[in-house]
Structure 1
Amino acid sequence: MSANTVIHRIVRPAVRVIAPTGVTPNHVTTLRLVTGTAAAVAFAIGGVLWPAIGGGIFVLSMLLDRADGELARQTGQSSPGGYWYDIISDCASNVMAMIGIGIGLHDVLGVWGPVLGIVAGAGIGALFWQLFGLSLAQPRGWEFSPGLILDPDDALILVPIFVWTGTAVPMIVAAAVVTPLAALWLGLQGWRAKRA
């Protein structure tokens, strides 16, 4: 993953402010996990207001996702343990968000809402495991123009937008189809590479 994406650049000034305060990257990662959990709970409550609030909390959670690594780099506090804590927190937050959205859509989709949320969450979990646990591929960002880099997981910023615009149903359906297929494809690529 890149360390200079658009979201990194957004959080960098705030990280410079908190760097001398004694706040550690693990503190920020913990806050990322707490806000990710809160967003998932708000999504799961359903209705109109709570998912909208969950979307705002999820955006904050994504900013914290970038801030912990940025803080580690700026303060020289990078560590293997902190790296894995960050990866596990990111994965858990994203998986919980999908499951929460699915549960919140129960009134619209019936039992299919939670099922789609679980499938989308499982797909995200599988992708994280394949990318970071098994190292089947190296996630890379796309540089759209000089200095404008987007990582694949930056696309999760679209989740609140779908929720806010009332298009969470097609989003959760697409996520339940795309993430497992992407995990299957990546697994097949890894299997082929090992056989070659």
Structure 2
Amino acid sequence: MSTDTVIHRIVRPAVRRIARTRVTPNHLTTLRVATGLAAAAAFAAGGPWPAIGGAVFVLSMLLDRADGELARQTGRSSRFGHWYDIVGDCLCNMLALFGIGIGLWDTLGALGPLLGAVAGAGVGVMFWEIHGLRLAEARGYQLRPGVVVDPDDALVLVPVFVWTGAAAPMLVAAAVITPLASVWLALRAGRRTEERAGQRRS
């Protein structure tokens, strides 16, 4: 995963100031989880709350980059902090999608929470495949010189869909794409294993 994405650059000046204080990377991760859970609850509440939840979700994403940036600037990286960050990210993203599904009950009925659960589960499986099983490498992509994004930066579009009233089609797409992507990662890893086994035999 890249450490110099657009979002990293946005939070870097603030993190430089925080680095002079007693705030630790785990403090920021805890705040990231708290804001992520708050965003999910706002998405689920319906009414005017999803719009507020979108803003809180963006803040949570900024904190997601800030904790790692603070760890690098202060040399306070740890194995626990690394996994706390990953598990917290996964939980927040899963619950955000589930929360959106609950919030769409008036529009989609019971299908809303079901789609949210499927999309959230797909995200959870992909996180485990990438970070737990190491079936793929989470790396940044350079869109143009100086503009690097990570795949999960695309989640910043979630509040955009909520704000523009397109949460329902976004959730349907997520419920289809995330499970298919997790299956694709597993199949690709299986093919690579078979290819390596064939090379050793030959």
Could you say whether these structures have the same fold, taking a TM-score greater than 0.5 normalized by the shorter chain as the test?
Answer: yes
Output the CA distance in 2 between the equivalents of 1:64 and 1:70. Answer: 10
Q: TM-score, normalised by structure 1?
A: 0.98
Identity percentage over the alignment?
67
Per-residue deviation, 1:10? 0.2
Output the CA distance in 2 between the equivalents of 1:181 and 1:69. Answer: 29
Aligned residue for 1:91?
90
Output the CA distance in 2 between the equivalents of 1:92 and 1:155. Answer: 17
Per-residue deviation, 1:168? 0.2
The aligned amino acid for 1:152 is P
The aligned amino acid for 1:117 is G
Q: Is there any run of 5+ residues in structure 2 with no aligned partner, and where?
A: 196-202
For residues 30-41 of structure 1, what are the structure 2 equivalents within 5 Å? Answer: 30-41=30-41
The aligned amino acid for 2:99 is G
Aligned residue for 1:5?
5
Aligned residue for 1:143?
142
Per-residue deviation, 1:34? 0.3
Output the CA distance in 2 between the equivalents of 1:139 and 1:19. Answer: 26
For residues 1-196 of structure 1, what are the structure 2 equivalents within 5 Å? Answer: 1-47=1-47, 49-196=48-195
Structure showing greater Rg: 2
Per-residue deviation, 1:120? 0.3
The aligned amino acid for 1:21 is T
Cα RMSD (Å): 0.6
How many pairs are equivalent? Answer: 195
SS at match of 1:78: coil
Q: TM-score, normalised by structure 2?
A: 0.95
The aligned amino acid for 1:19 is A
The aligned amino acid for 1:101 is I
The aligned amino acid for 1:146 is P
* Structure 1 stretches of at least 4 aligned residues deviating more than 3 Å after TM superposition: none
The aligned amino acid for 1:15 is V
